[in-house]
Structure formats: C-alpha cells, structure tokens
C-alpha cells in the first residue's frame, strides 16, 4: 500500500506555478523601481552665509586662516597645490606646513583657526579629500571651503 495515496490527504490540488510567477514579477518590479544612492563623487558642504570679509585687508592685518589652494594645470593634467605662494610637491610637505601653521595659531591663542581649502572647478575631489585628511591628521577641527578663484596669474 505504500504506492497508493489516500484521497482524503489532499482534497484540493494547489497549483504553485501562478504564485511563483506573481512573486517573480513583484521581485522584478521592485528591482527596477529601486533607486540607488550614488555614494562616490559627492561631497556635501555648505558655505556659511554669515562669514566673509566686509572690510578690505591692510598689510598690517594678521592672517587668521590657513589656506590651501588647489589649481588644475591643463597642460600636465595635474593638480597644483599652493600654500601661500609656495607650490607644494608632496603630501608630507603640505602636512608639515599645515602642522606648523596650526601650531603657530594655537600658540597665539587662536585654536579655532580654520584650514580653508580653495579648489578650482576642474580639481578632482580626491585631491580635496586628501587635504581634508591631512588637516584632520594634524588635529585641525575646523575645515572650510572657499569658492575657487582664478589663480592662473598667481601661478605664472
């Protein structure tokens, strides 16, 4: 009797093929309608509206910022980093300059001095993030971003 089935065990035959079809269609629908958030390539920042220079600087005005300018060299397709008017070649040199400048500002009683990153439009974001990382390694808590200026005249 092992080969025979009792008709009372399964009175209604359930066809699962349409249910699998519906579940498959729902999976395809949700996969196609899902929006992926792009994580790489975006760097959220807000420029303060209550800051800025309202009066012109004189030669006697002390510098209260640490500014790193990032320029794009079209000819060599590379980023040029300026600290003041000096061209910085490698990360170690830039990190040492940030460290020394920030230590001077802390010694003079201004630990809130920001590192301002002034990047040109064509500079890759990895370069900007690299300067942020170098500043953070030196303990700088305040990092600000400036609208990129045209430094072509200063570079020549």
| pLDDT for the residue numbered 54 | 60
Are 149 and 118 within 8 A, CB to CB?
yes
CATH number of 66-155: 3.30.420.270
Phi-psi region of 84 (alpha: psi -120 to 50; beta: other; left: phi over 0): left
First to last CA, the chain: 99
Mean pLDDT check: name the lowest of 51-55, 58-62, 66-70, 73-77.
58-62
**For range 134-139, the mean pLDDT:** 87
pLDDT above 70: percentage of residues in the chain: 69
| Domain range list for the chain | 66-155
Q: What is the dihedral of CA 47, 50, 51, 52, to 10 degrees?
A: 100
Is the model more confident about 146 or about 127? 127
């Amino acid at each position: 009797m092992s080969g025979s089935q009792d008709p009372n065990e399964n009175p209604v035959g359930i066809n699962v093929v349409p249910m699998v079809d519906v579940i498959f269609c729902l999976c395809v629908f949700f996969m196609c309608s899902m929006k992926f958030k792009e994580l790489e390539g975006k760097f959220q920042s807000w420029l303060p509206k209550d800051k800025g220079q309202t009066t012109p600087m004189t030669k006697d005005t002390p510098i209260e910022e640490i500014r790193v300018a990032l320029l794009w060299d079209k000819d060599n397709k590379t980023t040029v980093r300026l600290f003041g008017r000096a061209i910085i070649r490698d990360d170690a040199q830039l990190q040492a300059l940030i460290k020394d400048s920030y230590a001077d500002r802390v010694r003079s009683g201004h630990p809130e001095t920001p590192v301002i990153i002034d990047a040109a439009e064509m500079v890759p974001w990895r370069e900007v993030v690299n300067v942020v990382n170098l500043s953070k390694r030196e303990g700088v808590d305040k990092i600000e971003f400036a609208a990129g200026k045209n430094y072509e005249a200063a570079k020549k």
